[in-house]
């Protein structure tokens, strides 16, 4: 299932992570682990944030993938299923066909 991860990094923890190099290392480990089809980094809600879209084959792997962000950076994280335009068209066509 394709999911989108959105993480907001605590400012103080993120500042420390930038100074020590822990933040870029954590982002590198995460991107290597999930191999996102898209990854974006920027500001949202006034804090450092990232968005990654990737294929999640086993939800049991989420705790290990996200624990660095929670423990080191006091991150607020959301993971939600998403679809591309083609998948949306297919889903809506199936909805029309069944109705």
In tens, the pLDDT along 56-68 reads 999 999 999 999 9
| Contact present, 24 and 15 (Cβ < 8 Å) | no
- For 49, the 3-state DSSP assignment is strand
* pLDDT for position 47: 97
Is the model's pLDDT at 99 over the cut of 70?
A: no
Q: The whole model's pTM is what?
A: 0.88
Q: How many residues does the chain have?
A: 99
Q: Give the distance from CA 2 to its chain's centroid.
A: 11
* pLDDT for position 77: 97
- For 2, the 3-state DSSP assignment is strand
């Amino acid at each position: 299932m394709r999911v989108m991860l959105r993480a907001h990094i605590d400012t103080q923890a993120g500042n420390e992570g930038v100074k020590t190099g822990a933040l870029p290392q954590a982002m590198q480990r995460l991107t290597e682990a999930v191999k996102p089809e898209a990854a974006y980094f920027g500001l949202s809600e006034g804090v450092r944030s990232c968005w990654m879209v990737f294929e999640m084959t086993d939800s049991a792997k989420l705790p290990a993938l996200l624990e660095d962000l929670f423990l080191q950076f006091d991150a607020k994280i959301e993971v939600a299923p998403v679809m591309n335009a083609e998948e949306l068209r297919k889903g809506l066509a199936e909805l029309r066909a069944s109705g």
